[in-house]
Amino acid sequence: MAQRRHAVVSFAPLKASALLKATPMSARSTETTVTFNHAFQIKGLDERLPPGTYLVVTEEERLDSLSFPAWHRTGTQLHLPAIATASATRQAVTIDPEDLTLALIADGRMPIDRSGAALPDIERPGVERPGVRPAGSKA
């Protein structure tokens, strides 16, 4: 009668930290809010939206082909209705971030420079931009 040989193989359990290091995050979502003082229109939406604070979710995926961390925006959603509005239903609509920027500029919430580029951080405390003064400041 032939003897069977069995190999004994043991596996050490992986720690959670090792799993996290082995699988880098390839997608992320960033939530921000935008506030409109006036009714506004976003391209692609049928109706004008009322003033208020809205949740905006930006989806991005990591570009692994580069030697430094970089992200590519894959989608932007505007959540309706405004945050403070009581509603039985809510929806997230996909929008172009450029259209959102244009709506913020039209609302007077985002200043623009001489080239027409939006300057979203000009009014943040502690952020200085050479050659650019916040609205209302004296020379």
pLDDT recorded at residue 118 = 55
Q: Quote the CA–CA distance of 101 and 60 in Å, as a whole number.
A: 18
Comparison of pLDDT for 44 and 93, the residue scoring more? 93
Query: Which residue in this structure is represented by tokens 């935008």?
Result: 34
Q: Quote the CA–CA distance of 83 and 67 in Å, as a whole number.
A: 39
- Map residue 55 onto helix, strand or coil: strand
* DSSP H or E stretch at residue 30: strand 27-36
Mean pLDDT of the chain: 75
Residues paired with 114 in a beta bridge: none
Q: What is the pTM of this model?
A: 0.61
pLDDT recorded at residue 125 = 41
Q: Quote the CA–CA distance of 5 and 24 in Å, as a whole number.
A: 40
> pLDDT (tens digit, 9 = 90+) per residue, 77-118?
999 999 999 889 999 999 999 999 999 989 986 655 555 555
Q: Quote the CA–CA distance of 96 and 132 in Å, as a whole number.
A: 27
Half-sphere exposure of 2 (CA within 13 A, CB side): 3
Q: Quote the CA–CA distance of 95 and 109 in Å, as a whole number.
A: 18
% of the chain exceeding 90 in pLDDT:
40
pLDDT recorded at residue 24 = 56
Q: Quote the CA–CA distance of 53 and 37 in Å, as a whole number.
A: 9
- Map residue 14 onto helix, strand or coil: coil
